[in-house]
Structure 1
């Protein structure tokens, strides 16, 4: 570090300490109650005025005024009655849609002049219709068809143990607090009508969606699985992952994986997806076929485009980003899930649905789905499908990029997403310890690894017990010990929401070295692509916090002694105004600073700043040299 750099860092630190007091007034809302628990999460206020300025009420989602002409119900093709009243005699042809691979959907042979009430053989179709008055209609539709081979595969299998369907309804980027703010109808129905149980101490274990979903599905972190990201020399597909739905399929379940957005799919965002269809029912081919090219390529900007167009257009284009014709995209998604219950009511089902488009870029927009999700829960309950179904309502993480993420509470919310369970009432009567443990665990530290163990336990349940704190994952059907810490649960300090971070003192001797270490690490990451990626410089010190393990905390896996301290450093860099939140470990015995790449969060969107680079892991760090963005 040069003398000039040291002087520059000292000046930025001086400015930071002048303004620090106003920053940390906000942390008064994060006080923790006294508890015997080793890990106590902060008590957050969902309607904190500092955050509510970022949220607003939304009108009902507006799609095209010209109503869709046709629909699919329980695997059957129908023409709306009012369509024929409006346009006269209707003649329709359908083209079955089939998965070619995870990135291409192909059309089968046309079926001419399909009649109203025809039973379909395929889940996905493209429809073209002509009317006697000269009007025309074309759109793509989805519905669960009857597949004899799948029905017969499970017809003679006997289910043991808890014998429950598993239905997971997942959303992207929704913290528990945001669900209170924006999903009031669906939360109320789930928690107060269905008597669901919410995990108040649910904590993510890493950055972004894959670090949340992969541990649920496999029990492993992304870096413990084969590489599937594009641009890596050994990248493969996810077919070899030890996915939990494979175990359910072996046990005779029909399996469903449904995510909605081709561009930001869990297994597909800059990744290779699957070589073979991964589950019995797979919604991706429909959305690949139905999404237009602009949406597929520029997934991050769709929700903003819709909001913008809706402000200025009384009747927006037929396929607005959140609509297919007159019907919201998310309704196609939810209706398909309903169809699994109506078409296969007696078959055991493992269904994992994860909807991303509406909420990924803008938390406010998840309100568009609130009533429809509540209606899904009502539909399942009214028709008694929940009598033999474990229903899970969850999110992967809180918002990672929105403006409120830069607040103290916003940081905590990212680490504490929505996660809630609802067992059928008979479970509490037959297995009261299950529900009792789940209620106890709702107040304790829980993670995606625990969800995986719970899903395994559903298939092989043999009784409840006290969880083993030495294991990374503990089934929530067992009691999680009070002494469990983030270290036990496999959560590194950077992601642990129950650590007691404190503001640093201005006299702390390592502050200048901290800034140098963070900036050096950011530039080291992109050094092999320096021809494309600019060297980053420090613009602002936003925050520096400090945490030192105490006698109540078990040492983290890499901590060899008690003479180590963790620092959380948030800075802004130029060019690009990138905002980075990092956790740096200070080994006081060796007097060295250690920063690992997985302990770096980019907390504002990079947008098009990284368009020159293909390697996914560099996107949040690289500012392209010839980029005009600021």
Structure 2
């Protein structure tokens, strides 16, 4: 297999950008819009990943991040456009209508005959969040009340069921955003700004361009600011979102909040501060099993925001679920992702004149497969057009972003996969009135779009917005990154990953040259990383072990950085190594090499990444960190017994 960390001298061709002919031959593989305009074109299928080394996303003193083509030849084999998957063939049979302060559930009689030739009757149940220690994971339903044509509803969450004497023909769940006694006294927007965080899980900058080209072009054409050097700070969703919401790294979150043992209610999450300063707050996330704050954690005891939609998605998942790559793509007659988009529109419309803070997060069409988001491209283009033509765009700073790129599978063994896993997309919409009122702040944001940025900077930005709305708010430095600052302030030109609290393992500022995986230094560094991996697994157990001991199977690929000198004036290189073990697992580690009396000294940089899908092979443990590294001993024992039988026979 061709190693994926290739010498920069092998990059021979320029990047292919929309509507520009490449200089050399190419296959007829394009991504086009509905008018046949070429958005991206595949580079000639040579073995290496071509890029133009005169082009960088960030090109500053201590950081140079390559600007590579979204359809590099190393990633092209993994790209396949997918069509939109419909969850229903008919229009919805029920809908919610607003008349002043009243909410009505109505039957759409124009389509009722399409559902059944027999008489159809409908009833609805109020859905209530659970109580006690499992409040975040349970819901209850009231007795189903029959209604005809229309009925007023007072609950914020209802389930409706319609059927004939022969059985059910339709069911759905409606989440209702409405004014209540608490929100009526919230602050008016006036000249201050609301905040919307709209996230798509597992979506790199390159994969947004590749799978959602219409959405990408819309953002680029409509003055959304693209933070091209936005680098993740940890492995998966929880730490990267908590960096934005709390300014803490994973270690600090575990020390201060202890989410595996305690509810997160007492954790200092920034929506609490917005709520304290009379913003209307909201949080919604699809796919309840993958929920950022509940997966292998206790979640929340009390509702953390004014509008908390976890019960809504728990109720939606009681409907007929159609999975797509193991995710709940369809929940009843609607896609889970579009349910989120509907909630965003309702939240913005109902509270258009109020200050508001909302986090809306989507997993179901992006988390488990690198291509499935392509089916949602038209949906998101239409959604963004609706947002831009609504009043929300006049007084709301909108962050459209992701947490990281694709983390698992063979694409991660490629150069492109290595880079884009660390570079999630992020676009920021700044209203025209803000640009006019704070021109220097907006110019700083645009300048920062070509500098190294992190989730900690976004945390500082949220505080900046809150301070601008009320000068009594005291901005607090990020615990994890004291040097990080608001994106409306100028980030230092000489910023390094160390300055931004990004570990070398996740840092994209230093490229890698190819180095032979069979070389002596690579093998030594790999065994060093393997020992660290074993120690990490062992550290979780005081008593009997549940995880097998890993042995090295082979080194898949390796790369090395240019030599630099540390603060002690010692020469240092970084090795990035991808290796496979037995029992079967694939890991990626960064190991620094320094020398003392010509003897190499190794140091592990940051975390060891798990880059293959481990599924339920770690189901015997519950710790979220250990699950990435453990291969439950029972699986190992079965394999070992099989091998022994084969050899004994």
- Pairwise TM-score range, normalised by the shorter structure: 0.7 to 0.9
Corresponding residue SS for 1:47:
coil
Structure 1 partner of 2:25: none
CA RMSD of aligned residues (A): 3.1
Aligned residues: 575
Q: Does 1:572 align with 2:580?
A: yes
Deviation at 1:29, TM superposition (A): 2.5
Distance 1:430 1:113 in 2: 54
Corresponding residue SS for 2:254:
coil
- In the superposition, the TM-score normalised over structure 2's length comes to 0.81
Aligned counterpart in structure 1 of residue 197 of structure 2, from 150, 161, 168: 168
Distance change (3 Å), C-alpha of 1:543 and 1:84: closer
Deviation at 1:53, TM superposition (A): 1.7
Structure 2 partner of 1:85: 113
Q: Does 1:225 align with 2:253?
A: yes
Structure 2 partner of 1:309: none
Where relative contact order (Cα < 8 A, 6+ residues apart) is larger, the structure is 1
Corresponding residue SS for 1:592:
strand
Distance change (3 Å), C-alpha of 1:152 and 1:461: closer
Distance 1:604 1:229 in 2: 30
Q: Does 1:98 align with 2:128?
A: yes
Distance 2:595 2:263 in 1: 42
More off after superposition, 376-385 vs 347-356: 376-385
Aligned counterpart in structure 1 of residue 219 of structure 2, from 190, 196, 218: 190
Q: How does 1:23-102 map to 2 (within 5 A)?
A: 25=10, 26=48, 28-29=50-51, 31=53, 33=55, 35-65=59-89, 68-74=92-98, 75-86=103-114, 87=116, 90-100=120-130, 101-102=134-135
Aligned counterpart in structure 2 of residue 582 of structure 1, from 584, 589, 593: 589
Deviation at 1:447, TM superposition (A): 0.5
Distance 2:570 2:488 in 1: 34
Distance 1:377 1:532 in 2: 48
**Unpaired runs of 5+ in structure 1?**
1-15, 296-300, 307-320
Deviation at 1:105, TM superposition (A): 3.3
Q: Does 1:534 align with 2:548?
A: yes
On the 8 A contact 2:122/2:147 being kept in 1, the answer is yes
Q: Does 1:347 align with 2:371?
A: no
Structure 2 partner of 1:422: 429
Corresponding residue SS for 2:371:
helix
Aligned counterpart in structure 2 of residue 143 of structure 1, from 175, 178, 197: 175
Corresponding residue SS for 1:323:
strand
Deviation at 1:485, TM superposition (A): 0.8
More off after superposition, 78-87 vs 54-63: 78-87
Q: Which has the higher helix share?
A: 1
Structure 1 partner of 2:238: 210
**1:54-108 superposed Cα distances (whole Å, 9 cap, x missing partner):** 1112122132436542123455312122333344654322111121145433335
Corresponding residue SS for 1:499:
coil
Distance change (3 Å), C-alpha of 1:165 and 1:89: farther
Deviation at 1:348, TM superposition (A): 1.3
**1:218-247 superposed Cα distances (whole Å, 9 cap, x missing partner):** 111121113699996xx2122122111111
On the 8 A contact 2:404/2:423 being kept in 1, the answer is yes
Deviation at 1:613, TM superposition (A): 2.3
Distance 2:148 2:274 in 1: 37
Corresponding residue SS for 2:268:
coil
Distance 2:430 2:486 in 1: 15
On the 8 A contact 2:525/2:602 being kept in 1, the answer is yes
Deviation at 1:414, TM superposition (A): 0.6
Q: Does 1:251 align with 2:277?
A: yes
Deviation at 1:403, TM superposition (A): 2.4
Deviation at 1:620, TM superposition (A): 2.0
Distance 1:506 1:606 in 2: 24
More off after superposition, 52-61 vs 510-519: 510-519
Q: How does 1:497-516 map to 2 (within 5 A)?
A: 497-504=508-515, 510-516=521-527
Q: Which has the higher strand share?
A: 2
Deviation at 1:202, TM superposition (A): 0.7
Structure 2 partner of 1:12: none
Distance change (3 Å), C-alpha of 1:567 and 1:214: same
On the 8 A contact 2:525/2:591 being kept in 1, the answer is yes
